[in-house]
Structure 1
Amino acid sequence: MRISTSCAVMWDPPHVSMEQAVKRLAAVGFQVLDFNIQDWLFDGSPAVGDDWQRWVRRAGKAARDVGVVFNQAHMPLADPRETKTRKRRLENELAHRSIEAAGMLGVPWIACHALSFAGAWDQGHLDELRERNLEYFAPFLKTAEKAGVGLAMENLADAFSEGARSRTYTATPGELIDLVDAFDHPLVGILWDTGHAHLQGLDQGQALRAIGSRLKGTHIADNDGRWDQHLMPFLGKVDWKAVMEALWAIDYAGDFTYEIHNYVRHLPDPLRDGAARVAFETAEWLLAGKWEKTKN
């Protein structure tokens, strides 16, 4: 497994550009990065302007200049409750754009969140959710095929539900596997978020073994089991021994990709590089098998 991180750890526009984030993370030791285009989809951002492709090319050049490759990205999150045509159209446009940007950078997999909505949560409701998601992602899959990018469906958590929607679709491994298998497409796989799984109270070793070869990417993060805190390993309560053992047991061929922005980017800027370096060394420690001696 290669050690990777989302560029979001350095996200601080306009003070830190994407190119600067890439170069700083490379200097720390990261040679593989997650292109966090989702965080750049805000009014006034170069990612949403007419010249967005130039912005993507600049990021690509910055990566090549320091010997870095991009391994994954993230589609923007859709709001299934949104009914305003203009906003929904903009959401869809930016989702397609994120896939195209990933293709421009040679990113093999882009993370996606399934749609979820309230219901009885019986088999009929789960079947409807699966079909709604197959329909929703169909046009994005066509864009992904053209771009040479795979859609990696991410495990979520029931803690993300609101009001009467007491659950969140794909919070369980069974739902996630069922959805991905229903696509029956080589460009649809699974991305495992260790923080979401911990919020859900899952046995991550068992879940990862069930997912097996469907696993294409990771969001590695820790939390206290109550909030999705996006912390570095060992700052929360995730069972890292169980996670690492399972990744090796299934011969996972992807990367160990951090999503730990809350650990780094809230620090004063002069301290961020040092924090990122500690995160890199922690990943080296985990991948060397030293987790066997850890205590949570």
Structure 2
Amino acid sequence: MRIGVQTKNVVYDDRPEDGFRRLKQAGFSCADFSLNGYLTNISLYQGERNAFFDKSIQELEQYFAPHKLGAAKAAIEINQMHMPYPNYVPGGTRELNAYLREVVAPKSLQVCAYFGCPHIVVHGFKLAHFLGSEEEEWNVMEQFLDFLAPMAKEMGITICIENLYESTGGHIVEGPCCDAGKAAERIDRMNDRYHAEVLGFCFDTGHANLVGLDFESFMTVLGPRLKVLHIHDNDGVADLHQIPYTFARSRENKASTDWEGFIRGLRGSGFGGTLSFETAPVLTAFPEGMKDEVLAFVAGIGRHFRRALSD
């Protein structure tokens, strides 16, 4: 079982080869390419966008050629990436949401294919509050996935939906894809329709901790539909994306996140993919001179998880 981490805050556009080499030296063999860093959610929720995805696919490939070469030289596999999100902005202009659907999403898949990356994570539409039900929310999301699925099938890419949270009235509540049974049924239905694994699941430990999901049960229900992971920690209050085992619920140091249940869930699902950490914010919390030690520490936790799975 391989160990991966985000490229954000490590791999920079001016010298991507250096960043991939740092990941390799820290103990990683895979990377989660942070494509979402090129069109941020902060800007999109403010109704703003930049011109990055206005580039042609040829220009995007040229832009990312040094990244692809740098990863290959460092023997780092880009096994997953994150599509810019949100893919739909509630209350956003028709022009903005059309751009996200018609331009950003297809070009994200093309970039994914260019890297030879088999998985791309997408955020579900947060529309239950506006449409009145989770079912109606999913219907709109499924239309978006149906738009992308033929391209994904042709490129051999699995689009992965992710368990999310929502903020309502100052409270953190379940967002899209927090029902494992529904997620499994919907994934199967779409894959049957396209006769290919066009849809899979990304389990996010931090989001699951925020809304109190049962890790073991959720992942076991997903079974082979679980394709990629976002591993990170928080205090159960905010989406902090910190190092696992960072937070405790008491002075007796019981972890705030159910890491034992996470290991049982990996076993129960039969997961054999990459232990991938979504901990990029950690790298800005420590002094720059400690970045390599912090990366190595995160990779060490990945090795701990791997050993626990073999026990």
User: How many angstroms apart in 2 are the aligned matches of 1:44 and 1:117?
Assistant: 24
Report the secondary structure of 1:107's partner residue.
coil
CA RMSD of aligned residues (A): 2.8
**Number of matched residues?**
287
Change (3 A) 1:110 1:290: closer
Instruction: Indicate whether 1:76 and 2:88 are aligned.
Output: no
User: How many angstroms apart in 2 are the aligned matches of 1:290 and 1:184?
Assistant: 29
Partner residue of 1:57? 65
Change (3 A) 1:245 1:57: same
| 1:181-214 alpha-carbon deviations (Å, 9 max, x no partner) | 3323422111100111101101101111111111
Shift of 1:47: 6.4
Report the secondary structure of 2:79's partner residue.
strand
Q: Which amino acid counterpart does residue 174 of structure 1 have in structure 2?
A: G
Shift of 1:173: 2.1
Partner residue of 1:98? 108
Shift of 1:83: 4.0
Shift of 1:290: 8.9
User: How many angstroms apart in 2 are the aligned matches of 1:161 and 1:184?
Assistant: 33
User: How many angstroms apart in 1 are the aligned matches of 2:268 and 2:174?
Assistant: 30
Report the secondary structure of 1:169's partner residue.
coil
Shift of 1:139: 1.7
In the superposition, the TM-score normalised over structure 2's length comes to 0.83
Shift of 1:136: 1.5
User: How many angstroms apart in 1 are the aligned matches of 2:306 and 2:9?
Assistant: 21
Instruction: Indicate whether 1:147 and 2:155 are aligned.
Output: yes
Gaps of 5+ in 1: none
| Counterpart contact for 1:7–1:18, Cα < 8 Å | no
> Counterparts of 1:12-23 in structure 2 under 5 Å?
17-23=15-21
Shift of 1:269: 2.5
Shift of 1:146: 2.7
> Counterparts of 1:1-296 in structure 2 under 5 Å?
1-10=1-10, 17-41=15-39, 49-50=55-56, 51-77=59-85, 78-92=87-101, 93-119=103-129, 125-158=133-166, 160-161=167-168, 168-185=175-192, 186-236=197-247, 237-289=256-308
| Counterpart contact for 1:191–1:217, Cα < 8 Å | yes
Change (3 A) 1:17 1:46: farther
Change (3 A) 1:8 1:117: same
Shift of 1:246: 1.7
Shift of 1:63: 0.8
Q: Which amino acid counterpart does residue 209 of structure 1 have in structure 2?
A: T
Q: Which amino acid counterpart does residue 293 of structure 2 have in structure 1?
A: G
Shift of 1:252: 0.7
In the superposition, the TM-score normalised over structure 1's length comes to 0.86
| Counterpart contact for 1:118–1:164, Cα < 8 Å | no
Shift of 1:79: 3.0
| Counterpart contact for 1:113–1:156, Cα < 8 Å | yes
Q: Which amino acid counterpart does residue 69 of structure 1 have in structure 2?
A: E
| Counterpart contact for 1:220–1:259, Cα < 8 Å | yes
User: How many angstroms apart in 2 are the aligned matches of 1:178 and 1:39?
Assistant: 31
Partner residue of 2:252? none
Shift of 1:165: 11
User: How many angstroms apart in 1 are the aligned matches of 2:309 and 2:188?
Assistant: 35
Report the secondary structure of 2:222's partner residue.
helix
| Counterpart contact for 1:118–1:167, Cα < 8 Å | no
Change (3 A) 1:130 1:227: same
Shift of 1:119: 4.4
User: How many angstroms apart in 2 are the aligned matches of 1:258 and 1:132?
Assistant: 30
Report the secondary structure of 1:71's partner residue.
strand
| 1:84-128 alpha-carbon deviations (Å, 9 max, x no partner) | 233223322122111111111111111111112134998xx3332
Partner residue of 2:251? none
User: How many angstroms apart in 1 are the aligned matches of 2:216 and 2:33?
Assistant: 27
Gaps of 5+ in 2: 41-48, 248-255
User: How many angstroms apart in 2 are the aligned matches of 1:268 and 1:163?
Assistant: 32
